[in-house]
């Protein structure tokens, strides 16, 4: 049994469960507030309804949601560039509770997400689109085996995003 002790947060990794997103979890997540540049990850009141599509999943423990991930087009952004996304990769989006960010838990959440995709989606090629200023998330993915593919421009905000890809051998 592995245990993570990060600052004042202590929980057993094997006590994290993955479940289909529920309205209650989505409502709790929609109240999370990220600061500064990371506020682009804040959700509006529509989030609880938008993530009831069967492609959103929550990381939970006895305290409630710790993070969530999604698969498919929901993990993509509209881009200025054309033909950025193809169907050869499963797009993933990964989010952690703000109070857990910077506490060395990203690798655990990324691995849980990928394992879930391997087991349930039978995918072995993954793509993530990350705000380019978010060096921490990009580095996490690179350390996890992803390769930086390209940088794109968000169609509405004109902000830069980095696309990373990961392929397994099986």
Q: What is the mean pLDDT of residues 81-87?
A: 95
pLDDT in tens, 104-122: 889 999 999 999 999 999 9
In a 3-state reduction of DSSP, which class is residue 71? strand
- Residue carrying the six token digits 């990060």: 6
pLDDT in tens, 123-162: 999 999 999 999 999 999 999 999 999 999 999 999 999 9
Q: How many CB atoms lie within 10 A of CB 92?
A: 24
Q: What is the mean pLDDT of residues 76-100?
A: 96
If one compares 60 and 10, the residue with the highest pLDDT of the two is: 60
pTM: 0.89
CATH topology of domain 13-167: Aminopeptidase (3.40.630)
pLDDT above 60 (res 97): yes
End-to-end CA gap in the chain: 27
Share of the chain above pLDDT 90, in %: 83
Predicted pLDDT of residue 9 = 44
pLDDT above 90 (res 7): no
Q: Where are the domains of the chain?
A: 13-167
**Structure tokens that stand for 91 in this block:** 């797009």
């Amino acid at each position: 049994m592995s245990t993570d002790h990060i600052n004042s947060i202590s929980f057993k990794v094997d006590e994290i469960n993955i479940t289909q997103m529920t309205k209650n979890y989505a409502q709790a997540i929609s109240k999370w507030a990220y600061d500064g540049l990371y506020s682009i990850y804040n959700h509006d009141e529509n989030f609880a309804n938008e993530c009831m599509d069967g492609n959103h999943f929550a990381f939970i423990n006895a305290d409630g949601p710790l993070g969530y991930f999604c698969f498919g087009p929901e993990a993509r952004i509209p881009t200025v560039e054309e033909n950025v996304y193809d169907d050869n990769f499963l797009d993933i989006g990964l989010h952690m509770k703000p109070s857990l960010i910077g506490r060395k838990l990203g690798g655990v959440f990324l691995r849980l997400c990928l394992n879930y995709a391997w087991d349930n989606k039978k995918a072995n090629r993954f793509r993530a689109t990350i705000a380019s200023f978010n060096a921490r998330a990009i580095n996490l993915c690179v350390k996890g085996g992803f390769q930086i593919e390209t940088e794109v421009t968000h169609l509405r905000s004109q902000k830069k995003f980095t696309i990373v890809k990961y392929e397994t051998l099986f």
